[in-house]
């Protein structure tokens, strides 16, 4: 690791204290005043992005205009706003239908879906997988975001369909219908609302992504991480460069930097995110993939059915909520 990358630890610690300042600096700028800055939109948590963005700026001298958005809004931003250069985040399954909008993409990290449990609230309720979420004692106590707005929630929908359908997504809808009934009309608007809601005691369990749960654990929240016994889909997310980018060289340098061995090593060691690089050691903060019951979701099937699946889920959720 380079000397500069060693500074990441200090930057990360400082970010916990100064996060409100950084968020103000990145989020309060006028959209029309980007000048020659690289414009990046991302659904990643701010505490994850800040140290990486700051080091990129220090290393390259390239200023970044960073906007935090939910995945659906982030995708819409880069597709409709020609001044946005990079979409940083969003799984390949979620972004896949819009891939023609991008010049190129790189795998950034490997993101398993997990169930997050509040240990102070769960009591003796067993949580080992999806089937356990149908327990009547959890009705209204399950944090799940609208999969039409949240990439991690769409990943869970895909995971449920393939896991509970034993490889046949059509057979998984019986489970999804039962789950929507146990949500009891509660459907959150963002990925962050899920993991923060569980960590802060608003819900007993939540359907989220691994790195978010690890971050809550690092912040001394009393949570547990469950890898579903029925099977875990682990999909890489990406860095996507807009086909309309007028700062292509800077965008490529951003992608190169974020996928470099040094940065990926730091990410795996300190930020709870799994690297996609084979030459980067697995994070000690998560269990090895070899110990997880991993299953595959057919990419083409997911991409071609995404809109129909979202419409079907929305209808089931509204029916369960008696709307």
| 101-105 long-range contacts, CB within 8 A, separation 24+ | 101/242, 101/243, 102/78, 102/240, 102/241, 102/242, 102/243, 103/241, 103/242, 103/243, 103/245, 103/248, 103/251, 104/240, 104/241, 104/255, 105/238, 105/239, 105/240, 105/241
What integer pLDDT is reported at residue 6 of this predicted model? 41
Indicate if 106 and 116 belong to the same structural domain: no
Q: Give the domain range for residue 227.
A: 112-233+290-320
Supply 186's token pair. Answer: 């509660």
Give residue 260's pLDDT band: very low, low, confident or very high (50, 70, 90). Answer: very high
Burial (CB < 10 A; 0-12, 13-18, 19+), residue 147, is buried
With 80 as the cut, is the pLDDT of residue 206 above it?
yes
**pLDDT given for residue 29 in this prediction:** 41
Return the structure tokens found at 19. 């996060």
pLDDT at 23 (0 to 100) = 38
Per-residue confidence (pLDDT) for residue 323, from 0 to 100: 65
Whether 79 and 26 share a structural domain: yes
Q: Let me know: does 226 contact 117? Beta carbons within 8 Å.
A: yes
Q: pLDDT exceeding 70 applies to what percent of the chain?
A: 89
Same domain, 280 and 177: no
Beta strand 223-226 pairing with 86-91 = unpaired
The secondary structure of the chain in percent helix, strand, coil, rounded to multiples of 5, reads 50, 20, 30
125: domain CATH number is 3.40.190.10
To 10 degrees, what angle do helices 151-164 and 191-199 make? 80
98 and 186 in a single domain? The answer is no
Say if residue 52's pLDDT is above 60. yes
| Average pLDDT of the chain to the nearest whole number | 89
Res 272 pLDDT > 90: no
Quick check: 9 pLDDT over 70? no
pLDDT-derived band at 177, boundaries 50, 70, 90: very high
Same domain? For 122 and 249 the reply is no
Residue 88, phi then psi, degrees to nearest 5: -105, 100
Find the radius of gyration of the CA atoms of the chain. 19
20 and 87 housed in the same domain: yes
Together in a domain, 208 and 79: no
d(Cα 33, Cα 187) in Å, to the nearest integer? 36
On whether both 227 and 278 belong to a single domain, the answer is no
- Beta-ladder partners of 209: 113
Answer yes or no: is pLDDT of 228 > 90.
Answer: yes
Residues present in the chain in total:
323
**Cα gap 95→306, rounded to integer Å:** 10
Give strand ranges (E) for 33-101: 38-42, 64-68, 86-91
305: left (phi > 0), else alpha (psi -120 to 50), else beta? alpha
> Is-contact 225 208, C-beta < 8 A?
no
Determine the angle formed by the axes of helices 3-27 and 46-60, rounding to 10 degrees.
120
49 and 78 housed in the same domain: yes
pLDDT of residue 4 exceeding 50: no
In this predicted structure, what is the pLDDT of residue 219? 87
At residue 223, the 3 state secondary structure works out as strand
Q: Model confidence over 66-92: pLDDT tens digits?
A: 999 988 899 999 999 999 999 999 998
Task: Tell whether the model's pLDDT for residue 192 goes beyond 70.
Answer: yes
Total count of domains within the chain: 2
Q: What is the pLDDT of residues 80-137, one digit of tens each?
A: 999 999 999 999 889 989 989 999 789 999 999 999 999 999 999 999 999 999 999 9
- In this predicted structure, the answer to whether residue 30 has a pLDDT above a threshold of 60 is no
- 83 in Cβ contact with 59 (< 8 Å): no
> Can you give the pTM of this predicted structure?
0.83
pLDDT digits (tens, 9 = 90+) for 140-168: 999 999 999 998 999 999 999 999 999 99
In this structure, what is the dihedral angle of CA atoms 20, 23, 25, 29, given to the nearest 10 degrees?
Answer: -130
7 lies in the same domain as 101: yes
pLDDT tier for residue 11 given thresholds of 50, 70 and 90: very low
pLDDT at 5 over 60: no
Tens digit of pLDDT for each residue in 293-314? 999 999 999 999 999 999 999 9
281 and 145 co-located in one domain: no
Structure tokens given for 256:
């190169």
- 129 and 160 part of one domain: yes
């Amino acid at each position: 690791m380079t000397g500069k990358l060693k500074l990441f630890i200090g930057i990360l610690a400082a970010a916990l204290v100064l996060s409100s300042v950084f968020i103000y600096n990145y989020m309060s700028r006028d959209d029309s005043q980007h000048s020659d800055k690289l414009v990046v939109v991302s659904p990643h948590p701010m505490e994850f992005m800040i140290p990486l963005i700051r080091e990129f700026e220090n290393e390259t001298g390239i200023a970044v205009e960073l906007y935090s958005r939910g995945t659906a809004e982030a995708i819409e931003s880069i597709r409709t706003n020609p001044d946005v250069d990079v979409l940083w985040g969003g799984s390949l399954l979620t972004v896949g239908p819009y891939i023609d909008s991008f010049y190129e993409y790189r795998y950034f990290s490997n993101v398993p879906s997990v169930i997050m449990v509040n240990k102070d609230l769960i009591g003796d309720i067993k949580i080992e997988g999806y089937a356990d979420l149908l327990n009547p004692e959890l009705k209204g106590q399950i944090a799940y975001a609208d999969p039409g707005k949240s990439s991690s929630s769409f990943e869970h929908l895909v995971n449920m369909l393939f896991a509970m359908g034993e490889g046949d997504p059509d057979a998984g809808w019986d489970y999804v219908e039962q789950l929507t009934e146990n949500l009891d009309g509660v459907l959150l608007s963002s990925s962050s609302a899920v993991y923060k809601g569980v960590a802060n005691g608003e819900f007993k369990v939540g359907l989220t992504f691994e790195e978010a749960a690890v971050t809550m654990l690092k912040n001394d929240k009393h949570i547990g991480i469950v890898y579903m016994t029925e099977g875990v889909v682990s999909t890489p997310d990406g860095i996507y460069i807009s086909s309309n980018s007028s700062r292509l060289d800077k965008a490529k340098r951003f992608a190169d930097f974020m996928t470099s061995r040094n940065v990926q090593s730091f990410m795996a060691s300190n930020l709870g995110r799994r690297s996609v690089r084979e030459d980067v050691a697995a994070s000690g903060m998560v269990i090895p993939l070899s110990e997880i019951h991993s299953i595959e979701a057919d990419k083409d099937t997911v991409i071609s059915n995404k809109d129909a699946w979202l419409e079907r889920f929305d209808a089931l959720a509204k029916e369960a909520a008696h709307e």
